[in-house]
Structures are given as C-alpha cells and as structure tokens.
Amino acid sequence: MHKDIATPIRTRTILEKHGFSFKKSLGQNFLIDTNILRRIVDHAELTENSAAIEIGPGIGALTEQLARRSKKVVAFEIDQRLLPILAETLAPYPNTKVIHEDVLKANVKEVIENDLSDIEDVMVVANLPYYVTTPIIMKLLEEKLAIRGIVCMLQKEVADRIAAKPGTKDYGSLSIAIQYYTEAETVMIVPKTVFVPQPNVDSAVIRLTKRKEPAVLVKDEAFFFQLIKISFAQRRKTLLNNLTNGLPEGKKRKEEILSALEQTEIDPGRRGETLSMEEFARLSDHLYTSFS
C-alpha cells in the first residue's frame, strides 16, 4: 500500500518539490484529509467493475483513492503545471489516465466510448472548482452521458440550492434543472479547515443519481426551462407578475396567462418558489401551445 497523498506533510512535500503555486483563477484548493476522501468515495458506491471520471484531480489525492477502489479512473486536468506531478503521484496506479483538457470543452461522451467501453458502471466523482460547478454539472447532465450519477464536492450554499425542495428559500431554477435529471441529496458537510489553501466557505458533498426518465414529461424541454427561469426572475414578485414581464408580449396577453393559470389550478398570486416541478410541467405544457 502506498503512502496517502492527502496528508498535510505529503501534500506540502509534493508541492515544494515541484515549486507549485496555487492559481486563484482556477479555484485550486487541495484536500489534506484522507478520511474525508475515503468517505467521498464511499458515497460513490464503486466496485472493482466500476469506472470513475474525475474533474480537476489536483495532485491526485482523490484520484488515488478512486484508483484503489475501481477498475479505471479517467481524470480531466486543465492546469498543465500539474501534469508532471500527477505522472509521479499516480505512477503506482496503472489504472489511471489523465487527460489535459478543460472538461467544459471536452467530448466526454467520446472519452467514455473510447476509454471506458468495457465498463458498464461509470460514476463522476470530483472535488469541483467552485467557480465552474454549475456549468460542469449541467453539461454532464444535458449531454445525457452513460453515467450512473455524480458525487461531487462543491460550495455548501450551491449544494443547498441543488438539493432544495419547493417552498424553501434555496429552491430555484437550479434545483429544478438538476432534480429534473437526477435525485439529489447532500451526503456530507466538509469544513474549510481540511483544505490548502483554506477556502472562505464550507463545502458539501452531493450525490446526484441519474433518473431513468426525467422527473416530469413535458411537451418541450427548452420551453419548460425557459418558463422556470422567467418564474424565478424576481423572487419577490408573484408568478403572474413574472410571467407577464417575461413571456413574449406577456403584458398584452395577460388574459391568456391568467386563463392558463386557472386551467392548471395554480393561484396567480403564488410565487415561483412555491411551485412543485409537476406544477411547472402542467403550466409549461399549457402555455407552450400559445407562446412557443
């Protein structure tokens, strides 16, 4: 068994040896607590027949834990300066592959088809850079990849929004967008003290388990998401107010909007945050015919 990367001393030694300095622009915070890394991997429920896709492996602390518990790990790393470090720290793990690419520009589907074609169970497991968390998760879900789900660490307040239920202050268009594709749950809270450098906020780990079918079936997905954005445009305003301001020619067509709300049995005086996904789906299907 090789010495863990994620200890304060080993991390410092590796960084000093390679003269590595953190880039704020890349949101680099490295975990220095092996127990937390192991627990993150536990939540991914990997077997020796699973593969893991990692985003932003850093110096390989999580990669190493994933490599010990799965058949293969493919990691996307944007920072060229980390490649020689990873080549060294991951040398004991021939089942790992590092791809030097920005995951937001990468063809992840192709990577799964080429590198993981022999593996049926694929999970994304990552400590995501905070500044691009949402675009990365949305890309992975919208591209309908052959993955079982995503276990990732992110800013606690973003995790709260992702897993939020209707009627709470955190519930919004992000909650619905992600829960449309997955079942979302926060599985652990991670204090800022276990990172170098320490971030300003606490983190959380969320598990997103992909649904076989979206949570609701709608006539038009793009219109459904557009309607949700409009409904949350100004949180303090009523649904009717946001819809008349946000839908094309909404002010002129207020009667049509009122009639749609009436027929779907949704009170126009409610706020967007009180509507369940099912209610949004009903309303979206109703308005789609006249507003698309």
| pLDDT tens-digit readout, 160-211 | 999 999 999 999 999 999 999 999 999 999 999 998 888 888 999 999 999 9
Position 23 scores a pLDDT of 76
Helix (H, G, I), strand (E, B) or coil at 128: coil
200 labelled ligand-binding: no
> Which domains does the chain show, CATH number per domain?
8-210 (3.40.50.150), 221-291 (1.10.8.100)
With a pLDDT cut of 90, the percent of the chain lying above it is: 84
| pLDDT tens-digit readout, 128-169 | 988 899 999 999 999 999 999 999 999 999 999 999 999 999
In 3D, which of 40, 7, 65 has the Cα closest to residue 203?
Answer: 40
Does the pLDDT at position 24 exceed 90? no
In 3D, which of 167, 289, 180 has the Cα closest to residue 225?
Answer: 180
Residue position matching structure tokens 């800022």: 192
| pLDDT tens-digit readout, 214-225 | 999 999 999 999
189 Cβ contact list (under 8 Å, min separation 6): 156, 202, 203, 204, 205
**Residue type, position 10, single letter:** R
CA distance 216 to 230: 19
Q: What is the mean pLDDT of the chain?
A: 94
For residues 146-166, b (16+ Cβ closer than 10 Å) or e, as one string? ebbbbbbbbbbebbbbbbbeb
pLDDT, mean of residues 266-280: 97
Judge whether 63 and 70 are in contact, CB under 8 Å.
no
In the DSSP assignment, the letter for residue 173 is H
pLDDT, mean of residues 229-248: 95
- Which tokens belong to 283? 């309303």
For the chain, strand residue ranges (E) read 30-31, 50-55, 72-76, 96-99, 121-127, 149-155, 182-190, 195-196, 203-210
* Phi (first) and psi of residue 179, to 5 degrees: -75, -15
pTM of the model: 0.92
CA 121 to chain centre: 18
42 labelled ligand-binding: no
| 265 Rama class: left (phi>0) / alpha (psi -120 to 50) / beta | left
102 labelled ligand-binding: yes
Position 129 scores a pLDDT of 82
Beta bridge partners of 30: 196
Does the pLDDT at position 61 exceed 80? yes
118 labelled ligand-binding: no
Does the pLDDT at position 60 exceed 70? yes
Does the pLDDT at position 246 exceed 70? yes
- Which tokens belong to 214? 């979206």
Position 252 scores a pLDDT of 94
Task: Quote the crossing angle between the two packed helices 277-291 and 173-181, to the nearest 10°.
Answer: 100
Position 1 scores a pLDDT of 66
